Amino acid sequence: MTEIKTKIKIGIIGGTGYTGVELLRLLVTHPNADVVLITSRSEAGRPVADLFPSLRGFTDLAFSKPEPSSFNHCDVVFSATPNGIAMTHARELITQGVKLIDLAADFRINDIEVWEQWYGMTHSCPELVEQAVYGMPEMNRAQIKSANIVANPGCYPTATTLGFLPLIENELIDPNDLIADTKSGVTGAGRGASVANLYSEVNDSFKAYAVAGHRHHPEITQNLSSVGDANVGLTFVPHLTPMLRGIHATLYSNLGDTGQSLEELINVFEKRYCDEPFVDVMPLGSHPDTRSVKTSNMCRIALHKAGSSGKLIVLSVIDNLTKGAAGQAIQNMNLMFDLNETTGLMTAAVQP
């Protein structure tokens, strides 16, 4: 059991992206968090509040270069970097007794060969993948509490997994024919400059992308296969929408021969998530929207049947930067340091 600390000393690797500033937004008001270090090669020496004026008055930190010994006085380090960076720091952090929460994909996929195929690089510490715990509290709460490395889930996998999970666990649907029709706000593509993400390219438009194969596909199938007795057959199609934040997953599946009514299926979800502080199963007939979870750590779920087709439709919405990234990472940190997992996260969504 990890010793409870009044203040957890926190380092952040790569704090200049949208996930980095979301981490800071939540951590600067967290009663048990003390962010002592935030790194950026490109912005070293620049005050954080200079780059992010929204944090003026909340932090006096400046960005620093990520030197090898920078983090040895931290209790935990969040890596909010592109894929392939956290794994280069992992060995040294663990050797120093520092816990690591990786918000990228370096430790999400158990099969190293599959990971290298999808991410196009050689994994630099494959032996540590076995030690890493997949950081979805609704699946792995007990393991997260004792973890030294947590692989924070992706945004699409979070919304999709939570939407299908009770159905797979209870063998209520055919796992070989699942469809995830998902939409993301533009911040899901990161803060780096890109013509495809310019306002004039994205606004007043809507498109699918990576239809032939997306990196989150093996992560989702790994999650769902781990709780069922059969391999999962998933069609996963992501879309880019002209909004800043949010994930909307419309999930289709074929019901088995259980004959359960929609009300009974909703009751299955309510029973599964009744003790989960950040999953809201909505009443019959509901249509959750992304605005209802904006800046919150909540996932809202609703169930519908599609006329006479026999298909069950699950609607699952999250904020891609909060429950889909920084908020879930802090939820994991709370568990790792024996805090109430809702600490610093119980804020209502911003509306409008």
Please report, for the domain that includes residue 71, its CATH number: 3.40.50.720
- CATH, residue 167: 3.30.360.10
Residue 316 pairs in a beta bridge with: 249, 301
- pLDDT, position 1: 44
Task: Please pick, among 74, 125, 155, 299, the residue that the annotation labels catalytic.
Answer: 155
Any domain includes 343: no
Contact 171, 229 (CB under 8 A): yes
- Neighbouring CB atoms inside 10 A of 291's CB total 15
> What is the spatial distance between Cα 299 and Cα 39, in angstroms, rounded to a whole number?
30
Active-site residue 74, yes or no?
no
In the numeric block, which tokens belong to residue 4?
Answer: 């409870």
User: Do residue 252 and residue 197 come from a single domain?
Assistant: yes
Any domain includes 350: no
| pLDDT, tens digit (0-9, with 9 covering 90-100), for 129-153 | 999 999 999 999 999 999 999 999 9
Mean pLDDT of 236-241: 96
User: Do residue 288 and residue 271 come from a single domain?
Assistant: yes
Can you give the residue range of the structural domain that contains 329?
8-153+323-336
Answering whether pTM is above 0.75, one says yes
State the total domains in the chain. 2
| pLDDT, tens digit (0-9, with 9 covering 90-100), for 71-109 | 989 999 999 999 999 999 999 999 999 999 999 999 999
| Radius of gyration, alpha carbons of the chain | 20
Q: What are phi and psi of 271, to 5 degrees?
A: -65, -40
- pLDDT, position 239: 97
User: Do residue 177 and residue 311 come from a single domain?
Assistant: yes
User: Do residue 254 and residue 278 come from a single domain?
Assistant: yes
Residue type, 260: Q
- pLDDT, position 161: 98
- pLDDT, position 193: 63
